Structure 1
C-alpha cells in the first residue's frame, strides 16, 4: 500500500518533452526501464569501484554495485510504503556519471577541469540522462520524469552554493528545486548506496588480501555478526563464515534504516511528498548509534583499503592516464572518434571544448581508457599500461 508521503506516478510532474504515457507501465517504471537500456548503464559493467577493471573478475564494478543498491533500495522502499519503481530508477542511475577508475578517476578529472568549472559525477549523471544519451527520435537524453531527475540530482540532499556546471546548465532550463530535499524514494536510494558499498567493500578488501578476517571481526557491528555465526555454526568453513557474517551486517543496516526512518517520518508529520521535500532534514537515515559504528568501519576501509599502498600505486598510474589523455584531446581533435569531432567543431571557446573532452573521457570504461592511452602513448614511466 502506498503511503500518503510517497511519490505517486498518477500525479507526477511529467517529462520535459511531453509524451503519451504507457498503458501498462507507470511513468516511474518507464524511467527505470529507460535507464536499464541506456548505453551509459551498460558501460558500468567495465567501470570499477576501487580496483581497476582487469584486476579480478570477482571485484565489484559500477554495474554490479548499482544492481545491489537497487535491490537494497527496493526492500527499504517497500517497507516504508514508497514507490519502489522510482526508488529503483534513482538507485540504478546514481552512478551513471562516474568516469573510469572510480573515485580516483573523478578526482583526476575534477582537477583537470578546475579551470573550466570542475567535474562532478552527480551533475554528469544528469547530463547523461538529459543530453548525452542520443537514441530517441524526439529528444536527447532519456526524457525522464521530473521526480526521477530530481532524485538523481539531489539524492544526497539539497544542492546549494555554487552549482556544478552541468547541473546549473540543465536546472536553468528545467527547475529541479535544488534547494529542497528530494523525495523519500531518492533518500532511500542514497542510504542504499551507503549500505551496499560498506558491505561489499569489506568483502572485496578481504578478497584482495588488504586486511584479514580477524581484523574485520573486531569492527563494530561485524564483531556481533561473527560471534552470532560462530555460536550457530561452530567450525564453519572460512568463506561460508564470512558470507554468513556479512549478510547479517547487511540485515542490521537495512533494519536500522527502516526502523529509524519510520520513526522520523512519523515524527515529521509528513502527509505528502511535498512535506518530505519541505522537511528541514532527511527522513531516511541511520540511527545515531549505527551511524557512529559505520563511521568506524569507513575509517578502517579508508586506511586499509582506499589508501592501501598497492591501491595508491594503481591510483597514481590511472591518474596519470587521464592526465595524459585530457591535454592530448584538447590539443588535437583528430584523436577523438569522428562522431565527437562535430561536437568539438561547435565549441565556441576553450571551456566549451574542455567540457566536450570531459564528457568523452567520463564516458570511457576502464579498459577503453587504458587502450586509448596505449594507442596514443604506449608507455609512461617505463611501464606498459
Structure 2
C-alpha cells in the first residue's frame, strides 16, 4: 500500500555490513527493533526533556517524548502512504545522542568540546548506532540500513559546511549523501518531533504551574480549542477541560501537516523516493499560517517556560555539573569505568581522548551525572 515515492524495503540500499534478510521482518522493522533494544534507548527514560528527570514523575523524559513522536509519525506516515516502520525507527532514534540535562547539557558539552571538534547531538546519534552500541559479534553499532542512517543524519535538512566529527567520521566510510534532503519518512519524523514537543511542553508547563490555562487561551489555535470544549462540555472539570482542549491542538497540527504535505507532494509529483531527496525543499511541512501561529506559541513557551526562573536556576546547576566532569575525566581518565579502558588506550592524542570523554558524558543519565559529580567533586557546590 506504499506510494511510489515512499521508501520501499525491497529496494533498500543495504547495510554497511551485509546480512542475510529476515524471513519475518522487513529491513526497516529490524532497524526499529534494534533501536528499541539498544542500551542508549533505555537510558532515555532518565534524560531531561525540559525538567530534570528527578523533578517530577509526570513530566516528559526523552523516552516518553520519543514514544510520542513515534505515535504521531506513524499516523502521518500512514496518511501519506509512506513506510511506517522506517518512520517509526527514525522517530524512536532521533534523540539517542542527547546528553544528560537536555539542550542545557548539550550546550555545556559543546563548549567543553569546542577545541576538539565540537559536539552535536544528531551526529552523536549516528556515533551511537554505528559505533558505541557494542553487543553484536561481527560489528560495532547496530548495523542499520542506509535509509535509517541517512534519516538520522539529515531529518532536519541537508548537512553542509564543516561536519561534526562524529558524522564526518562515519560518512567517510559510508556515504549518506549529506547534501540532499532526506527521504519523506525522515521529514515526517522531524515534523512529528515539532508537534509532540509543542503539545507536551504546554502540558508540562501547566502542570509545573509556570503559566495558567487562561494565559495560553490568549494564544492562536489554543484559545479556539478551549472555546470549543467549553461549548461542548460546559462546567467540565479543569483537568478534563485542559486535556480535551490540548488534544484538539494536537489534532490541528497533525491535520495541517497531512493536508499541506499532500498539496506539496501533488505539486512535485515524485515518481520515486529519490525525487523527494532532490526536490530542493521539504515536502512534509506545516502550512504558512499554522507555522506563523506555532512561532507565536514557541515564543510564549520560551519566555514563560524555558526561561522561567526555576528552570534557569536548574540549567545553571546542571551546566556546572558537565563543565566540572569534563576536565576531570580528561585529566584523570582512570575514573572512567573498566570497559572504557580500551577506548582510552586507543586514543592517540588529547583530541581523541576528549572524544572518548564526550562519548562517556553524553551517554550519562541525569541522575548518574549528578551522582558522579557528588562522588568525584563533593565540595564543588554545583
TM bracket (short chain):
over 0.9
Deviation at 1:25, TM superposition (A): 0.4
Distance 1:14 1:275 in 2: 19
Distance 1:258 1:320 in 2: 42
Distance 2:66 2:184 in 1: 19
Cα deviations across residues 162-213 of structure 1 (Å, max 9, x unaligned)? 1111001100100000000000000000000000000000000001111111
Cα deviations across residues 84-110 of structure 1 (Å, max 9, x unaligned)? 000000000000000000000000000
Cα deviations across residues 103-124 of structure 1 (Å, max 9, x unaligned)? 0000000011000011000000
SS in 1 for 2:123: helix
User: Structure 2: 5+ residue runs without aligned partners?
Assistant: none
Cα deviations across residues 259-295 of structure 1 (Å, max 9, x unaligned)? 0000000101211100000001000000000000000
**Structure 1 partner of 2:22:** 22
Cα deviations across residues 296-331 of structure 1 (Å, max 9, x unaligned)? 000001111111111000000000000110000001
Distance 2:330 2:189 in 1: 36
Moved over 4 A (4+): none
Which TM-score applies when normalising by structure 1?
0.99
**Structure 1 partner of 2:13:** 13
Distance 1:10 1:127 in 2: 26
Distance 1:362 1:314 in 2: 18
Cα deviations across residues 118-166 of structure 1 (Å, max 9, x unaligned)? 1000000000000000000111000000000000000000000111110
SS in 2 for 1:305: helix
Distance 1:370 1:331 in 2: 19
Alignment of 1:41-120 (within 5 A): 41-120=41-120
Deviation at 1:342, TM superposition (A): 2.1
| Number of residue pairs matched by the alignment | 382
Distance 2:96 2:371 in 1: 21
- Tell whether 2:148 aligns with 1:148: yes
**Structure 2 partner of 1:194:** 194
**Structure 2 partner of 1:134:** 134
Distance 2:94 2:353 in 1: 26
Distance 2:90 2:14 in 1: 16
Deviation at 1:58, TM superposition (A): 0.2
Which TM-score applies when normalising by structure 2?
0.99
Cα deviations across residues 56-107 of structure 1 (Å, max 9, x unaligned)? 0000000000000000000000000000000000000000000000000000
Distance 1:5 1:336 in 2: 47
**Structure 2 partner of 1:366:** 366
**Structure 2 partner of 1:304:** 304
User: Structure 1: 5+ residue runs without aligned partners?
Assistant: none
- Tell whether 2:203 aligns with 1:213: no
Distance 1:342 1:283 in 2: 45
Deviation at 1:379, TM superposition (A): 3.8
Alignment of 1:292-371 (within 5 A): 292-371=292-371
Distance 1:320 1:208 in 2: 24
Deviation at 1:380, TM superposition (A): 2.8
**Structure 2 partner of 1:181:** 181
**Structure 1 partner of 2:236:** 236
**Structure 2 partner of 1:264:** 264
Distance 1:16 1:144 in 2: 8
Distance 1:271 1:233 in 2: 47
Distance 1:156 1:300 in 2: 23
**Structure 1 partner of 2:122:** 122
Distance 1:341 1:88 in 2: 35
